[in-house]
Structure 1
Amino acid sequence: MKLALARAMCLNADILLMDEPTNHLDVMNVKWVEEYLLGLKDVTCVMVSHDTGLLDRVCNNIIAIENLKLKQFKGNLTQYVEKNPKAKSFFELKSSTGFVMKFPQPGFIEGVKSKGKPLMKMANCTYTYPVNSVPTVKNVTVQVSLASRVACVGPNGVGKSTMIKLLTGEVVPQEGTVWKHPNARVAYVAQHAFHHIEQHLEKTPNEYIRWRFQHGDDKEALAKDTMVLTDEEKEKVKEPVTFEIEDEKGNKTKVKWRIEKLTGGRKQVKKEVEYEVQFVGMSYNSNRYVSASKLAKWGFSKHMLVVDEKVAQRAGAFSTPLTTANVEKHLEDVGLDKEFGTHTRMSALSGGQKVKVVIAAAMWALPHIVILDEPTNYLDRDSLGALAGAIRTYEGGVVMITHNNEFCSALCPETWLMQKDPADGIAQCNCKGDAEWMAKAAKESVQAAVQLDEITDALGNVVKIEKEKKSKDKMSRKEKKQAEKIRKAKIARGEAVSSDDEDWD
């Protein structure tokens, strides 16, 4: 974006046409754009923007499009809204037309009973790009749960997107560890979201989603370094491994077989997961399940990650039949009417409509965690308000990189502040978790089947949750008897009894 602005400046134009000039820019650069435009005395500037502050401080004429007609108004945005109350959504984070955006709920995840239980973790991660000698990020420690509402903030180029790539496994840290729950589904809408659909512009959005998930797997999933074998790993998995087989008489013999591949089968056996393997030169009937610990020792760790990803994705993608009607309804839930979702090629869609296509596709597999990199780019004010509403009612975790302070302040009590350490100039992450909010979110969740005793914030701090006590007059007869029984037991043990416990006579 800065390069595009610089090229435009070099033209010394008489008329400057700008389409969303603040997209992707941090607050300092947005301020620079504003001051530059205000300093142009002999240049006419015409801009399309959904940035309320920019329009209000820079523009002295407003041209609104209503019912396919242009209406011109002399004055800034505040003055325009005073004369046209229907446009007040420019100053509110809600839809003025009543448009509602809905995300599909993630559903149950095996082994997770608390919304505060981490589903993704990074610990002390440092990453240096191959072309650099200095790390881009250093000693980053974060975690994400179903209760997370995180805004990742910081200046352009400080390493926010790199941290997210580490978290999602797109790149591998040189130091530190990254972990994801094997049954967790993660949707990642990248900063340059259009790269998902650039090769499919002749398809309609409906056709694109049906193509992308036709076999259950996400064909557009990014190639992750965490799942790509190195040459050394490729050689290791070719080595024969020892198995013990037993004949009909109970005699045991050790044999050496080569594993050809993991078939994709997976099952839980007591406390360990086992994966189905197929052997070189042997029929499907010879397949057997092998424990994860053995496969890891033999060099199949990345193969298991691939299986985990496919099992998790298919569980979500196959939950709703992949029909034209179902995809059409899904697209409408994110604000893309069937006229555009089913009957219009993507090459004819606006930037905001393309963003909705990418968000809809990411949500098809019912993710437990949604990671949005600059989700507000290209969205109009109505869609921005609707997106905020969808995030508020979503039962999964949300992490967003954004420069929109209004958006993140309204939605995200947790922040990951990425900034460079003055001592060495390397980006580090300062996390601030809001445990009280997570406790409240978990308590109010319609899917919360278990009362939480504790939650964990973004840094892993365990916080006890104070249970709300019922007064005596609000208790049922059974609850009163139980409370009296507990009170007498405390007295018998010689424990102190609170004033609430004593007030029974």
Structure 2
Amino acid sequence: MSLLEPPTKLLKLLHDSLPKDSSLSEGDEILAYTAFLAAGLVELQEFEVATWKETLTPYLEQIGYSEDVAEEYCYKTQKEFSDEDDASSYGEPEEGVEELCNIRFNLAYGGKILLHQTKLRLLRGRRYALVGQNGVGKTTLMNAINNGKLEGWPDHLVTAYVDSGSNVDPAYESLLVLPHLMESTKCSKEVCMAKLRELDFTDAMMEGNIGSLSGGWQMKLRLVRAVLINPDIYLMDEPTNHLSESAVKWLTDYLVSLDHQTVVTVSHDTTFLEATSTDVIHYEQRDVWGPYRRLVHYKGKMSEFVKKQPQAKHYFELASTDALKLNFPEPGRLEGVRTSTQKFLEMENVDFRYPGKEKNQLTGITLKMSLSTRVVILGANGAGKTTLVKMIVGETVPSNVGMCKYYIHPNLRIAYVAQHAFYHVEQHMEESPVAYIQWRFKDGWDKEKMESEAYRIPEDEQKAIDDFGIEGIWSRRMRAGQLEYEVKKRNVREKDNKYYTRDELLALGFEHLIKQTDEKIASKEAGLDLRPVTTSEIQKHLDGFGLPQEFGTYGKVRGLSGGQKVKLVLAAAFWTNPHLVVLDEPTNFLDREALGALSEGLNAWGGAVLMISHNKEFYSSVCKEEWHVADGQLSISGVSTEREMKAVARKKKFEKEAGSDEILDKAGGNTNTDGDKYKDATVDFWGKTVSKKDARLYEKAKKKGDVATMRKILQIPPGKVMPGQEELGDGKSA
């Protein structure tokens, strides 16, 4: 609303308060100006009756009302808005209940006003669900309360903040579990151990460092710390992240049992909020005017809140809206893989054991994956789900490598969004999301991946490379069923380069060098070396992930909410046009709308999906196959997409052979098998949707057999072919 427009609600109230015989309309300039002034007083939270009389009476008298009548109207207006702000925002006062805080405050972050002149009132023994869209500032508010930075916050209140675990601090992860808990809570060793055992911590876990714990166990540790602090107020920011079903039940039961402590919870798990909350505090636009939000209090559980505010039902729905769609670029061509059911990864009787451990973490793992794979990995916290994922993405190798079948297509491009994916993004806090992606992919490959521990060449391997005299690996080829690498040695002419098999180089200890080479070749296959990393190109990509220019180009990573950081991580991961996306707890930090968009985006995407998730509603909307990890073993249930697609293919083949799909040639009655030589133009080489205009031009070029124009419209780089349309070659394609 323009600042020159009077606030509708106040204007209507003033007009309705005039005598019935009044001939003034709401369009009267003086009446509108009076409402404009009244709105200013409400925004300033100035409710002294004398001030209202002094400010508004002179104008009301100009339109024919006596001083007494004017004063009465002013009083009613003041009383109406004061009651609205005091009662609707945080509830009527309750007798016999201790009031922990009753404050009015402003809150801003990064120069952006999040809450303006809003009230917050918390009562002892109540459990509040803090609800709002991603980016409104829920975590910022929780941090401000915990750090004592909220204006008017009572200093005597003790708070315990259970954060979401999105920020990984290496110094924190190096701390020992038990000493850290004793130091941060000032509790004895015996008390700490007893509470840890309640949540099934073993002695080995207590003696180890925090970084050795899985995401679920780290969340349990934060919960134990909060309980031992014994606060007045628990501040819970996504407390169910990483937790197994049994751990969520323990937390639910514990919170519900509290009658002397207050809980404020931020969570996208509406089932958890429904089970634990007694009240809802909702972020809403102010009614008076302006873009600012306020906190509005509703008594009752989430379901009762939705009855009062039907437009908020999306908090319970897993569906995208027109305002948020996630458009994932289609996976590129994978050499040798001609169908979506042809495997690109296979393991048979694979074992994995962490160095220094006596027992395998995983034993006898057998699985396979293709482009049509849609699978969720399930299991208790610490069962080995993330360990299995790391083996699938190539970050670790089997302990019995050489004695088992372990095949990953060398050109496979994987988008791996790990539990702690924020860690890398948050090394670029002062940069824009566009600048972050430019830094990461400007060299034609994923710099962040190359610098990770899984790809970075360790000192002993670098020494072996130097001793062997390797200057670099020039190329790779397939010969006699084996991958061979062209090795350039120092002080040796290029024409004298020698080829070594993959097994030979692995035997020499060059594992990370091979991984770097394979990654660069896979990136080149995707055309990353030719893809422009301009601001406009990257912003167009970010638009498809719900990060408009305001955040993508002009904002900074520091100013993004948790949900927006997830979108940035997803956008960066899909820049390579991956064949497989691996999501470790993808539902953390995303609201219901974003989860719905992610579900629909993955279902429409043509690549493979592997995820770890405790959110059954979400994973069942994408995955029909389940991999269960327990006691180091893998069991598979559900229906694999590969089997479904093969069954459909067999049915189509049978129908075609029966003649149901034949297209008869008009002249001689012969079957026309050339009708689908070229596919329709829906997406270009980079996975972007082709405009309607370009689609029409493509159709014209297709009729003429103008391959050059077709390649230009689809933006196919020289030397590349369109995935699934090898006939659109240029004579240079491999």
Letter in 1 for 2:522: A
Correspondences of 1:204-215 after superposition (within 5 Å): 204-215=432-443
Moved more, 101-110 or 363-372: 101-110
2:394 aligned partner: 169
1:286 to 489, 492, 495: 495
Q: Under a length normalisation based on structure 2, what TM-score does the superposition of the two structures give?
A: 0.55
Give the conservation status (yes or no) of the 8 Å contact 1:89–1:95: no
Structure 1 pair 233/65, CA: closer, same or farther in 2 (3 Å)? closer
The within-5 A match list for 1:373-384 is 373-384=584-595
Question: Quick check: 1:38 aligned with 2:256?
Answer: yes
Of Structure 1 and Structure 2, which has the larger fraction of its residues in helix?
2
Could you list the runs of 5+ residues in structure 1 that have no partner in the other structure? Answer: 240-258, 421-426, 445-451, 454-463, 484-505
What count of residue pairs does the alignment treat as equivalent? Answer: 439
Aligned match of 1:277? 487
Other-structure match for 1:106: 331
1:383-430 CA distances to partner (integer Å, 9 max, x unpaired)?
11111111011101010000101011111011111112xxxxxx2110
In 2, the alpha carbon distance for the partners of 1:234 and 1:85 equals 66
- Bigger Cα Rg: 2
1:298–1:48 Cα change, 3 Å: closer
Task: Specify the alignment match of 2:518 in structure 1.
Answer: 308
AA aligned to 1:138 is T
Aligned to 2:704: none
Percent identical among aligned pairs is 39
**CA distance, structure 2, for counterparts of residue 207 and residue 476 of structure 1:** 52
Displacement after TM superposition at 1:305 (Å): 3.6
Residue of structure 2 in register with 1:156 after alignment: 381
Change in 2 beyond 3 A, CA 1:465/1:228: farther
The AA in structure 1 aligned to 2:499 is V
CA contact (8 A) 2:426 2:557 kept: no
Q: 1:325 to 1:141 in 2, by over 3 A?
A: same
Aligned-residue offset at 1:308: 1.6
Separation of aligned partners in 2, 1:71 and 1:264: 63
Please say if residues 579 and 608 of structure 2, whose CA atoms lie closer than 8 Å, have aligned partners that are also in contact: yes
Determine helix, strand or coil for the equivalent of 1:220: helix
Structure 1 residue identity aligned to 2:339: S
Q: Which residue of 2 aligns with 1:83?
A: 308
**Counterparts of 1:126 and 1:473, CA distance in 2:** 49
Q: CA deviation at 1:237?
A: 8.3
Looking at structure 2, the residues matched to 42 and 309 of structure 1 have their Cα atoms a distance apart, in angstroms, of: 56
The answer to whether the 8 Å contact 1:101/1:334 transfers is yes
Give 1:51's aligned amino acid.
Answer: D
| Cα distance per residue 1:15-56 (max 9 Å; x no partner) | 111111111111111111111110001111111111010111
* Distance apart, 1:116 and its partner CA: 1.1
Partner of 1:58: 276
Q: Find the counterpart in structure 2 of residue 406 from structure 1.
A: 617
Q: Does the 8 Å CA contact 2:455/2:516 hold for their aligned counterparts?
A: no
Q: 1:88 is paired with a residue of what secondary structure? A: helix
1:428 aligns to what? 633
Whether contact under 8 Å (1:127, 1:138) holds in the other structure is: yes
Please give the secondary structure, in 2, of the residue aligned with 1:197. Answer: helix
Residue 20 (1) aligns with residue 264 (2):
no
Deviating beyond 6 angstroms after TM superposition, the runs of 4 or more aligned structure 1 residues are 470-474, 478-483
**Distance in 2 between the 1:160 and 1:270 partners?**
36
- CA distance in 1 between counterparts of 2:277 and 2:367 reads 41
3-state SS, counterpart of residue 595 of structure 2: helix
Q: Output the amino acid matched with 2:495.
A: S
Task: Name the SS of the counterpart of 2:303 in structure 1.
Answer: helix
Structure with the largest fraction of strand: 1
> More deviation in 318-327 or 3-12?
318-327
Equivalent residue number for residue 181 of structure 1: 409
Q: Would you say the 8 A contact 2:334–2:411 is kept in 1? A: yes
Q: Which amino acid aligns with 1:192?
A: H
SS of the residue 2:617 aligns to: helix
**One-letter code aligned to 2:226:** A
Match of 1:417 among 625, 628, 633: 628
Q: 1:263 to 1:47 in 2, by over 3 A?
A: same
Contact 2:445 2:520 in 1 (8 A): yes
Measured at CA, do residues 92 and 10 of structure 1 come closer, stay the same or move farther in structure 2, by a change above 3 Å? same
Tell me the equivalent position of 1:501. none
Cα deviation, 1:339-397, whole Å, max 9, x if unaligned, reads: 11111221222111111111111111111011111111011111111111110111010
Q: 1:328 aligns with which of 539, 552, 555?
A: 539
In the TM superposition, 1:233-382 aligns within 5 A as 235=464, 238=467, 260-267=470-477, 273-283=483-493, 285-288=494-497, 290=499, 292=501, 295-296=504-505, 299=508, 302=511, 303-316=513-526, 317-318=528-529, 320-382=531-593
Q: 1:289 to 1:81 in 2, by over 3 A?
A: farther
The one-letter code of the counterpart of 2:491 is G
Residues 352, 399 of structure 2: 8 Å contact kept: yes
In 2: Cα distance, 1:11 partner to 1:305 partner: 47
Deviation at 1:177, TM superposition (A): 4.1
Aligned counterparts of 1:179 and 1:472: Cα–Cα separation in 2: 40
CA distance in 2, matches of 1:226, 1:207: 23
Change (3 A) 1:193 1:428: same
Alignment match, 2:225: 7
How far apart, CA to CA, are the structure 1 residues paired with 2:480 and 2:371? Answer: 26
Q: Which runs of 5+ in 2 are unaligned?
A: 1-218, 286-292, 672-734
The more displaced of 170-179 and 21-30 is 170-179
Asked if the contact 1:260/1:279 (under 8 Å) is kept, the reply is yes
Pick closer, same or farther for the CA change 1:343–1:160 going to 2, 3 Å.
same
**8 A Cα contact 2:487 2:500, kept in partner:** no
Task: List per-residue Cα deviations over 1:89-138 (Å, max 9, x = no partner).
Answer: 22221124541111111122121111111112222222222243222111
Deviation at 1:338, TM superposition (A): 1.6
Does structure 2 retain, via aligned residues, the 8 Å contact 1:185–1:368?
A: yes
Calculate the aligned-residue CA RMSD, in Å.
3.0
Which stretch has the larger CA shift, 377-386 or 88-97? Answer: 88-97
Q: d(CA) in 1 for partners of 2:357 and 2:225?
A: 27
- Alpha-carbon spacing, 1:295–1:471, altered in 2? closer, same or farther (3 Å): closer
Asked if 1 retains the 8 angstrom alpha-carbon contact of 2:431 and 2:556, the reply is yes
Give the match's secondary structure for 1:111. Answer: coil
CA deviation string 1:243-300 (max 9, x = no partner)? xxxxxxxxxxxxxxxx5233342345686654332122134x4353625368548737
Paired residue type of 1:92: E
What is the DSSP-based 3-state SS (H/G/I as helix, E as strand, rest coil) of the residue aligned with 2:589?
A: coil
Instruction: Determine the C-alpha separation between the residues in 1 that align with 2:506 and 2:279.
Output: 68
Deviation at 1:224, TM superposition (A): 5.5
Equivalent AA in structure 2 for residue 28 of structure 1: S
